[in-house]
Amino acid sequence: MVRSYLLPVLVVMLVSLGLISLKGIGMRLGSYESFYNSGTLALGTAALMILVASALGWLYLLSYLEVSRAIAFSALTFPFVYALSWCFLGEVVSPRQLFGMVAIVAGVMLST
């Protein structure tokens, strides 16, 4: 159960967190000087480490999951990114996007 469902969801959460971290870096890069800001560099380092960890997680998942199941779980990246961007970046999620997130989660549940 843990290897079949929990680990794929955790890896998808890592990917989503890495993508949100990259968005945070993009928001900070208003000028050339802001790239060398210690906060931006720390966030960039954290984003890179998270994305490397998530890539290693996908490699591990593919060692025991069928590719068709792994791809189904990767679709969960979209709802997680929407939720994290709403929570941490203050982005607005429209009712249409919310419906899409529910549809994706339902589709993953049905296909796995």
C-alpha to C-alpha distances, 51 to 34, 55, 68, nearest whole angstrom? 22, 6, 22
pLDDT tens string 5-24? 888 999 999 999 999 988 88
pLDDT tens string 75-85? 999 999 999 99
What is the pTM for the complete model shown? Answer: 0.83
pLDDT tens string 66-77? 888 888 999 999
Phi/psi for 65 (5° steps) reads: -95, 150
pLDDT tens string 25-67? 888 777 666 767 788 888 889 999 999 999 999 999 999 888 8
| Residue in the structure block whose two tokens are 């954290």 | 46
pLDDT of residue 92: 93
d(CA 109, CA 53): 25
| Residue in the structure block whose two tokens are 């928001």 | 27
C-alpha to C-alpha distances, 27 to 13, 36, 89, 91, 93, nearest whole angstrom? 21, 14, 10, 12, 18
